[in-house]
């Protein structure tokens, strides 16, 4: 699979990689050793039967492969594109030490795309239990729990505050990594399982907590959409954005096409992005596509960057300058941003994450001329709903405290995904949501 040339893709929002052709997918599938004890399955948080679906691809039975995948994962086109496979299924592949691991994510993406083009089917549902569950939030965690609960025979109503379902998949991850038509198609599959959705419903306001608690169970999947800020001088200036706001404006509100769409966004000539995760890379790559010169400033070393390797490579290919061992300390300007003062960082003893802690070097400050500053240094849970639920225990960073099955401190209320774990990954949100959905099912059947 060849990526589209960087010089071409930096001018548009089309996907970077075209994906496998049927012949390429079959050739790749034939490399699979069909291990008796497949470690790749342990590496997948939703435990897809990876060898079984790959065996069907090798035989050209693409429909069978789709059925196998969808028994465990209702968002395969999404996961095939954005899962950090290198540390999950592919990281466990026995071939990764000897040659290249099987490209499991790309095969999953191929099957999902093939099925979308050739007619989809939904998994069978169990008989109705008569129970009714409220799911709050329609990101990967909410969609997964809704699909699983519906499959197990429960009636599900899904509340979403925005005008479209999908959570970060819609408003955060850019089109060139995850086309929105694909997210919409996978959401439709979940709804086709009989899930009722109420868009533009802000739980805690449009539907109150006592109203939610009238359902037989409540599943909270409200994510971690509250951006953190560095707390440095100048953050109030015009031209400072959180990555969340910047990405939402472009991905969700089409601000790049203003005034065709109503929402504007600043198109800086020189943009500084603070952070080193996927969110920072996405913000930097979107800014490049809006025509900006972009410098990404990260406080640790290049090998410590938390973003996926592919995203770092793609960002560099697209002309994002990555400045490591540096950190912003002040945004400069009178009313608008004119520069960002940074300081060099040196590495010292490892912190609680196991990575070396970064500490500023005295007298090392320097200024980057910039008319825009985007902060992508982390997100926490939006407190609006969870702070209104009496007795809901919270963990250190404000996340909802849950046990291993997603149970909260409040009877009949469960939580999973980023609201419980803190900002993590799509597939961890899905894996924890599936576990919680099964715990809800057990509880309801014991009632």
Any alpha helices (H) in 74-139, and if so which ranges?
76-82, 89-92, 104-118
| Closer Cβ to ligand SF4, 83 or 195, answer by number | 83
* Cβ-based neighbour number of residue 147 at 10 Å: 32
Which is it for the CA torsion 311, 316, 321, 326, positive or negative? positive
Kindly state the tokens that stand for 246.
């910047």
**What is the rounded CA–CA span in Å between residue 142 and residue 75?**
12
Q: Which stretch binds ligand FAD (CB under 6 A): 219-227, 229-237, 365-373, 392-400?
A: 219-227
Distances 234 to 328, 330, 341 between C-alpha atoms, Å? 11, 6, 10
| Closer Cβ to ligand SF4, 65 or 320, answer by number | 65
Is 392 among the residues that bind ligand FAD (CB under 6 A)? no
Three-state DSSP string of 43-74: CCCCCCCHHHHHHHHHCCCHHHHHHHHHCCCC
Task: Please check whether residue 55 is in contact with residue 278, taking contact to mean a CB–CB distance below 8 angstroms.
Answer: no
Is 429 among the residues that bind ligand FAD (CB under 6 A)? yes
* Residue 88 interacts with which of ligand SF4, ligand FAD, none, CB < 5 to 8 Å by class: ligand SF4
| Closer Cβ to ligand FAD, 32 or 385, answer by number | 385
Is 337 among the residues that bind ligand SF4 (CB under 6 A)? no
CB of 372: closest distance to ligand SF4 in angstroms? 34
CB of 268: closest distance to ligand FAD in angstroms? 18
The binder of ligand FAD chosen from 10, 146, 197, 203 (CB under 6 A): 203
CB of 175: closest distance to ligand FAD in angstroms? 12
Task: Please report, as residue ranges, which positions from 72 to 91 form the binding site for ligand FAD (by CB under 6 A).
Answer: 82-84
**What is the rounded CA–CA span in Å between residue 287 and residue 294?**
7
Q: How many residues bind ligand SF4 (CB under 6 A)?
A: 15
Is 108 among the residues that bind ligand FAD (CB under 6 A)? no
* Cβ-based neighbour number of residue 205 at 10 Å: 11
Q: Are strands 326-332 and 339-350 parallel, antiparallel or unpaired?
A: antiparallel
| Closer Cβ to ligand SF4, 50 or 156, answer by number | 50
**What is the rounded CA–CA span in Å between residue 419 and residue 433?**
11
* Residue 142 interacts with which of ligand FAD, ligand SF4, none, CB < 5 to 8 Å by class: ligand FAD
Is 222 among the residues that bind ligand FAD (CB under 6 A)? yes
The binder of ligand SF4 chosen from 25, 32, 73, 131 (CB under 6 A): 73
Strand, coil or helix: what is 397? coil
Is 193 among the residues that bind ligand SF4 (CB under 6 A)? no
**Contact pattern for ligand FAD over residues 398 through 417, marking x by CB under 6 A:** -------------------x
* Residue 225 interacts with which of ligand SF4, ligand FAD, none, CB < 5 to 8 Å by class: ligand FAD
Is 103 among the residues that bind ligand SF4 (CB under 6 A)? no
**What is the rounded CA–CA span in Å between residue 397 and residue 205?**
24
Is 143 among the residues that bind ligand SF4 (CB under 6 A)? no
Is 51 among the residues that bind ligand FAD (CB under 6 A)? no
**What is the rounded CA–CA span in Å between residue 260 and residue 255?**
9
Q: Rounded to the nearest 10 degrees, what angle do helices 104-118 and 62-70 cross at? A: 110
Is 104 among the residues that bind ligand SF4 (CB under 6 A)? yes
State the Cα angle at 62 between 188 and 42, rounded to 5°: 80
Task: Please check whether residue 359 is in contact with residue 342, taking contact to mean a CB–CB distance below 8 angstroms.
Answer: no
CB of 181: closest distance to ligand SF4 in angstroms? 20
Return residues touching ligand SF4 (CB under 6 A): 44, 46, 48, 50, 73, 79-80, 83, 85, 88-89, 104-105, 108, 427
């Amino acid at each position: 699979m060849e990526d589209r040339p960087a010089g071409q893709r930096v001018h548009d929002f089309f996907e970077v990689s075209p994906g496998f052709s049927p012949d390429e997918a079959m050739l790749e599938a034939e490399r699979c050793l069909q291990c008796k004890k497949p470690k790749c399955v342990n590496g997948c948080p939703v435990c897809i039967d990876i060898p079984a679906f790959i065996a069907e691809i090798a035989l050209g039975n693409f429909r069978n492969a789709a059925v196998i995948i969808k028994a465990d994962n209702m968002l395969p086109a999404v996961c095939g594109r954005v899962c950090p496979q290198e540390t999950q299924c592919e990281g466990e592949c026995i071939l990764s030490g000897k040659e290249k691991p099987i490209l499991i994510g790309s095969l999953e993406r191929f099957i999902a795309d093939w099925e979308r083009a050739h007619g989809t089917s939904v998994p069978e549902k169990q008989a109705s239990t008569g129970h009714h569950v409220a799911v709050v939030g329609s990101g990967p965690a909410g969609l997964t729990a809704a699909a699983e609960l519906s499959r197990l025979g429960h009636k599900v109503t899904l509340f979403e505050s925005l005008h479209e379902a999908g959570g970060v998949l819609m408003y955060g991850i850019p089109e060139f990594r995850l086309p929105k038509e694909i997210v919409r198609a996978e959401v439709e599959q979940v709804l086709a399982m009989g899930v009722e959705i109420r868009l533009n419903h802000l739980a805690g306001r449009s539907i109150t907590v006592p109203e939610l608690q009238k359902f037989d169970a409540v599943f909270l999947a409200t994510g971690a959409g509250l951006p953190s800020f560095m707390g440095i001088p100048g953050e109030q200036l015009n031209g400072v954005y959180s990555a969340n706001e910047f990405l939402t404006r472009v991905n969700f509100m089409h601000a790049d096409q203003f005034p065709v769409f109503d929402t504007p966004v600043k198109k800086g000539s020189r943009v500084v992005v603070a952070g080193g995760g996927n969110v920072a890379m996405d913000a930097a790559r979107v800014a490049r596509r809006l025509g900006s010169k972009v410098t990404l400033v990260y406080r640790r070393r290049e090998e410590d960057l938390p973003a996926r390797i592919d995203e770092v490579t793609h960002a560099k290919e697209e002309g994002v300058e990555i400045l490591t061992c540096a950190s912003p300390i002040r945004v400069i300007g009178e009313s608008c941003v004119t520069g960002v003062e940074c300081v060099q960082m040196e590495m010292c003893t490892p912190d609680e994450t196991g990575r070396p802690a970064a500490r500023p070097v005295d007298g090392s400050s320097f200024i980057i001329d910039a008319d825009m500053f985007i902060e992508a240094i982390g997100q926490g849970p939006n407190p609006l709903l969870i702070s209104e639920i009496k007795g809901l225990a919270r963990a250190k960073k404000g996340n909802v405290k849950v046990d291993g099955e997603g149970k909260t401190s409040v009877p009949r209320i469960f939580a999973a995904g980023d609201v419980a774990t803190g900002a993590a990954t799509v597939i961890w949100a899905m894996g924890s949501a599936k576990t919680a959905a099964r715990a809800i099912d057990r509880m309801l059947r014991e009632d």
